[in-house]
Amino acid sequence: MRIIVNRAGLALVAALTISACGSADGASSSAAAGSSGAQTPIPVVTSTNVWGDVVSQIGGDQVAVTALIVDPAADPHSFEPTAQAQLALSKAALVVENGGGYDDFVQTMIDAAGAPAPVVTAVDLFAKDTDGASDQGAFNEHVWYDFPTVGKVASRIADELSSIAPAQAAVFQANLSAFTGKLDGLTAELDAIKAAHDGAPVAITEPVPLYLTQAAGLVDKTPPEFSDAIEEGTDVPPTVLSDTLGLFTGKQVVALVYNEQTSSPETEKVLAAAKDNAIATVGVTETLPAGKDYLNWMDANVTALQGALG
């Protein structure tokens, strides 16, 4: 994501969040089931609140999570760590990042900290048989929309936490089992969509949701030059914009899956064209919405996709 809605009026927030029962939003992480222990919670730093919530699901009240990016308008490509964020990372017992060029600032911070904790990098656990190329050809770093990869990340987190706090290993493994069981349920929902709509053509504004749509059997028809330009924050050539709008005026796609956190004149025109031509729209985000944890966020995405397809 490079173009941000009202970016000038919003600030990045580095929030220290200690797992507690309840919902996860920009200032708190959800806690998975676990026994409350007297020991000090394990300090974990994550690049975004998405991975922060996954840590909280696995660690429960045994972890204290600092998610460096919680602002829905924040651009990880231009994130500038604060002294508070750097201090949190220097004290972390575990670090979880996305990788793939999405949050390179984490490695910069690790290099500056001088006391590296174990690092779980989601992209390194990418669970596809392919090289991770998106429909546009370039690597799609938004791997938190790929459920098999999220499951592998969760498993690695459980292993790392078990090494740090062996006495709580059974808690971490029980939380992992509950989390992956729910992931399996989401995968089954995608399989059902694929069975009913395999090969259905869709459009996107940028590659954020592609792992989700691909798992559902949907085919992206967006001109690569359009989604590339939107993701990079560059101008869309007039002919490319015309071709993209033609997907809707010509009823060549059944749905538009767009990033709600990115707005430009071109994406607004595409969204308007979809609505004007009675093409279903599905909004997705890069960061965890307020009041949701990872699992119910993704469940809402899958449900919205199913609803758009009919």
Query: Over 60: is that where the pLDDT of 3 sits?
Result: no
Quote the percentage of the chain above a pLDDT of 90.
75
Q: What is the mean pLDDT of the chain?
A: 87
Angle between helices 49-59 and 147-164 (to 10 degrees): 60
CA angle 82/84/86 to nearest 5° reads 70
Q: What integer pLDDT is reported at residue 25 of this predicted model?
A: 36
C-alpha R_g of the chain: 19
**Which of 180, 174, 182, 185 shows the shortest CA–CA distance to 33?**
174
The least confident of 9-13, 164-168, 238-242, 247-251 is 9-13
Q: CA–CA distance from 284 to each of 43, 298, 303 (Å)?
A: 30, 10, 12
Residue that the structure tokens 């449900």 belong to: 303
Which domains does the chain show, CATH number per domain?
Answer: 7-186 (3.40.50.1980), 197-309 (3.40.50.1980)
Using 50, 70 and 90 to split pLDDT, how confident is the model at 30?
Answer: very low
Strand 63-69 vs strand 15-18: parallel, antiparallel, or unpaired?
Answer: antiparallel
Q: What integer pLDDT is reported at residue 198 of this predicted model?
A: 98
Residue 79, SS3 per DSSP: coil
CA angle 62/65/69 to nearest 5° reads 165
The mean per-residue pLDDT over the stretch 134-140 comes to 64
DSSP type of residue 38: S
**Which of 169, 184, 147 shows the shortest CA–CA distance to 54?**
147
Angle between helices 169-197 and 49-59 (to 10 degrees): 130
Residue 129, SS3 per DSSP: coil
Query: Over 50: is that where the pLDDT of 32 sits?
Result: no
Using 50, 70 and 90 to split pLDDT, how confident is the model at 165?
Answer: very high
User: Rounded to 5 degrees, what are φ and ψ at 175?
Assistant: -65, -40
Q: How far apart are CA 212 and CA 200, in angstroms?
A: 14
Strand 42-48 vs strand 63-69: parallel, antiparallel, or unpaired?
Answer: parallel
Q: What integer pLDDT is reported at residue 186 of this predicted model?
A: 98
How confident is the model over 53-109, as pLDDT tens digits?
999 999 999 999 999 998 877 778 788 889 999 999 999 999 999 999 999 999 999
> Is 115 exposed, middle or buried (CB count within 10 Å of its CB: 0-12, 13-18, 19+)?
exposed
The mean per-residue pLDDT over the stretch 146-167 comes to 98
The mean per-residue pLDDT over the stretch 218-240 comes to 95
